[in-house]
A and B are shown apart, each in its own frame.
Chain A
Amino acid sequence: MSARLTRDNVAKVADLARLNLSEAELERYTEQLGAVLDHAEDVASLDLDGVPPTAHPLPLVNVLRDDFVVKGVDRDEVLSQAPSVEDRRFRVPAILGEEP
């Protein structure tokens, strides 16, 4: 399927997944994820040409309901669980490189 997973692949994936990994963790994950991917190579022996993918066990269709107002979850109850709130909104640190 593909070449052996490298440390640099793992570092790139950690960045995509928003995880800060130590050098020791990078090495360990490279080894462990490589072993799982090696095991997954057994599917390479199967003839999958022309086989459609199955992403879901049910034949899904869009589910619609009548357009009427129902009570949602309580806004203040939701906000009471957030790490930081301002003016009844979620508050986050700087984005787009602004000073905080």
Chain B
Amino acid sequence: MSTIPSTALEIVAAVRSGQLSAREVLEDHLSRIDAQDGEINAFNLVMTEEARAAAAAVDARVAAGEDPGPLAGVPLALKDNLCTRGIPTTCSSRILEGWRPPYDATVVQRVNAAGAVSIGKTNLDEFAMGSSTENSAFGPTRNPRDTGRVPGGSSGGSAAAVAAGFAPISLGSDTGGSIRQPAALCGVVGVKPTYGMVSRYGLIAFASSLDQIGPFSTTVADSALLLEAIAGYDGRDSTSIDAPAPSLLESLGQGVDGLRVGLVTELMGQGIAPDVAARVRQAADALTAAGAQVGEVSVPAAAYGLSAYYLIAPAEASSNLARYDGVRYGMRVDAPTTAEMNAATRTAGFGEEVKRRIMLGTYALSAGYYDAYYGKALKVRTLIVRDFEKAYADFDLLLTPTSPTTAFKFGDKTADPLSMYLNDICTIPTNLAGHPAMSVPFGGGSDGMPVGVQLLAPALGESTMFRAAAVLEAAAPALDEVWS
């Protein structure tokens, strides 16, 4: 039995009080990675030397009687689309292989300043495009609960790292569900904050009006701790909300007495596996038992979220990924002219799914089709925002499944992109609206794999959302409890 506690809050308490050194905590996690990541493949890069230096710095601060920070000594895994100065950052794409960013992302600066020990860069679907981490140029990540199944995606490495005990907390990014869906499939907590709450400076862009960075953890409290550390205004992100970081930890014990929670009818029927829907109803009952008033609510436009998203996100991606042209960073395939070099580099450097989305987005934005596709999708986005506004007039929070099924097997959905995209039906609407949402583990499905239930809140409603999450966590059946 390891003597190292499993949660970030416990590790921080032990390191701050001198009971444990950051070095001991780190070495314990490095040995777990060494033993098991050959099979799981959560990491693109383990930052052994940098992490040892960071842990030594924390221990020195403790020894000197200085404040080592709110994340003192906690190993933390970073999705490999977050820039780390001088340390390879790949987005799991050949086109960025070997690139060492000249700056740190704001979230990286903040977790380091808070005393966290960045332990490595985690695998993802290339440029965060995918729902299974099968699109990585460096091979898929395996689900630690069943290595024959996907961990979800795109932040599959960050979810698997926490589920496997390689790090108690990690950071991912969520554009259409890329934190919440892998959290659900791996049986951990995952949070997509309000758009603008966490700086995107140094997050390599996929779809800029949707992308948001957020935490993974095994407990609701650890996600609250990490989100408090990374949230808050940053002048280097022009979409950063100029408001103080939320106080989440102190809201956790407040319960849900009197809160109104709406079960979204459009996301409980067609396309949702019966065992997943049953766990969501069980979660609703748990909230009722804790004093919440649970009712059903219709969010009609949510049913159109998938169609709008798969035009808007690729459109933004096709623009954002135009910068990979073989000129300033990453790989270059030589050719006689610059135009030929651009095309040869992009053809060799991008994987199949990234090309598919660039193509879809370029088409949706091209002359003659703009109004029919991109323009219409933006209007649907307005309807989704309006329908959420109506729902939140009557309810404080909404409840849905996170993913329509539990973790699927490798190769099940790779031949049919649309079947893969359908994984995101429950998570996409919140990205389009810019609202916060989180996935909380709630027992197993009929196959004994974890089920995640999703809580949704209006913009900046994180503290209310975390109150309900804490109640669900306390009431949750075991992760591997088979639904029958």
Interface of A toward B, CB cutoff 8 Å: 1-2, 5, 9-10, 12-14, 16-21, 25, 29, 32-33, 35-37, 39-44, 46, 48, 51-58, 60, 63, 65, 73-74, 77-78, 80-84, 90, 92-95, 97, 100
The interface residues of chain B, by DSSP majority, are classed as helix
Determine whether the beta carbon of A81 is less than 8 Å from that of B375: no
Determine whether the beta carbon of B359 is less than 8 Å from that of A55: no
Top 3 nearest A-B pairs by Cβ distance?
Answer: A57-B434, A53-B378, A83-B332
Q: Who on chain B is nearest to A42 by CB?
A: B307
CB-defined contacts of A44 to chain B, threshold 8 Å: 376
Q: Who on chain A is nearest to B336 by CB?
A: A100
Known: A58-B196, A92-B327. A40 touches B307 (CB 8 A): yes
Determine whether the beta carbon of A94 is less than 8 Å from that of B359: no
Known: A37-B373, A92-B341. A74 touches B102 (CB 8 A): yes
In Å, the complex CA distance between A60 and B418 comes to 32
> Smallest CB–CB gap between B206 and chain A, Å?
15
Is the C-beta of B268 less than 8 angstroms from some C-beta in chain A?
A: no
The interface residues of chain A, by DSSP majority, are classed as loop
CB-defined contacts of A14 to chain B, threshold 8 Å: 359
CB-defined contacts of A2 to chain B, threshold 8 Å: 369, 372
Determine whether the beta carbon of A55 is less than 8 Å from that of B336: no
In Å, the complex CA distance between A42 and B381 comes to 14
Determine whether the beta carbon of B421 is less than 8 Å from that of A36: yes
Q: What sequence of 0s and 1s flags, for each residue 344-381 of chain B, a beta carbon within 8 Å of any chain A beta carbon?
A: 10110010000110111011001001001101111111
B interface residues, how many (CB within 8 angstroms): 73
CB-defined contacts of B147 to chain A, threshold 8 Å: none
> Smallest CB–CB gap between B378 and chain A, Å?
3
A-B contact pairs, 21 of them (CB 8 A): A1-B376, A17-B355, A17-B362, A19-B346, A19-B359, A29-B355, A42-B303, A43-B307, A54-B432, A55-B381, A58-B196, A58-B241, A60-B238, A63-B238, A74-B102, A83-B331, A92-B327, A92-B338, A94-B336, A95-B337, A95-B338
CB-defined contacts of B339 to chain A, threshold 8 Å: 18, 95
> Smallest CB–CB gap between B325 and chain A, Å?
7
Please pick, from B241, B308, B328, B417, the residue contacting A35 in the complex, using a CB distance under 8 A.
B417
CB-defined contacts of B356 to chain A, threshold 8 Å: 29, 32-33
> Smallest CB–CB gap between A38 and chain B, Å?
9
Please pick, from B343, B358, B372, B418, the residue contacting A20 in the complex, using a CB distance under 8 A.
B343
Determine whether the beta carbon of A55 is less than 8 Å from that of B209: yes
In Å, the complex CA distance between A18 and B239 comes to 30
In Å, the complex CA distance between A21 and B360 comes to 14
CB-defined contacts of A82 to chain B, threshold 8 Å: 327-329
> Smallest CB–CB gap between A2 and chain B, Å?
5
CB-defined contacts of B318 to chain A, threshold 8 Å: 17
Determine whether the beta carbon of A93 is less than 8 Å from that of B304: no
CB-defined contacts of B209 to chain A, threshold 8 Å: 55-57
Please pick, from B304, B343, B432, the residue contacting A42 in the complex, using a CB distance under 8 A.
B304
Seed contacts A48-B380, A58-B195, A84-B332; 12 additional CB < 8 Å A-B pairs: A13-B362, A18-B325, A19-B355, A32-B418, A39-B418, A40-B310, A43-B376, A46-B383, A53-B378, A73-B102, A81-B100, A95-B338
Determine whether the beta carbon of B379 is less than 8 Å from that of A94: no
Known: A2-B369, A54-B385. A46 touches B336 (CB 8 A): no
CB-defined contacts of A80 to chain B, threshold 8 Å: 100
Known: A33-B359, A58-B434. A18 touches B346 (CB 8 A): yes
Pick the most buried of B303, B358, B459: most chain A CB atoms within 10 A of its CB.
Answer: B358
In Å, the complex CA distance between A1 and B373 comes to 8
CB-defined contacts of B107 to chain A, threshold 8 Å: none
Known: A20-B343, A48-B380. A77 touches B196 (CB 8 A): no
Is the C-beta of B261 less than 8 angstroms from some C-beta in chain A?
A: no
Is the C-beta of B144 less than 8 angstroms from some C-beta in chain A?
A: no
Q: Who on chain A is nearest to B333 by CB?
A: A83
CB-defined contacts of A83 to chain B, threshold 8 Å: 326-327, 329-332
Determine whether the beta carbon of B355 is less than 8 Å from that of A94: no
Is the C-beta of B244 less than 8 angstroms from some C-beta in chain A?
A: no
Q: Who on chain A is nearest to B237 by CB?
A: A63
In Å, the complex CA distance between A80 and B86 comes to 11
> Smallest CB–CB gap between B392 and chain A, Å?
14
Determine whether the beta carbon of A51 is less than 8 Å from that of B383: yes
In Å, the complex CA distance between A100 and B337 comes to 7
Determine whether the beta carbon of B381 is less than 8 Å from that of A53: yes
In Å, the complex CA distance between A32 and B377 comes to 19
Q: Who on chain B is nearest to A1 by CB?
A: B372
Please pick, from A12, A13, A90, the residue contacting B327 in the complex, using a CB distance under 8 A.
A90
Is the C-beta of B382 less than 8 angstroms from some C-beta in chain A?
A: yes
Q: Who on chain A is nearest to B194 by CB?
A: A57
In Å, the complex CA distance between A48 and B381 comes to 11
Determine whether the beta carbon of B310 is less than 8 Å from that of A33: no
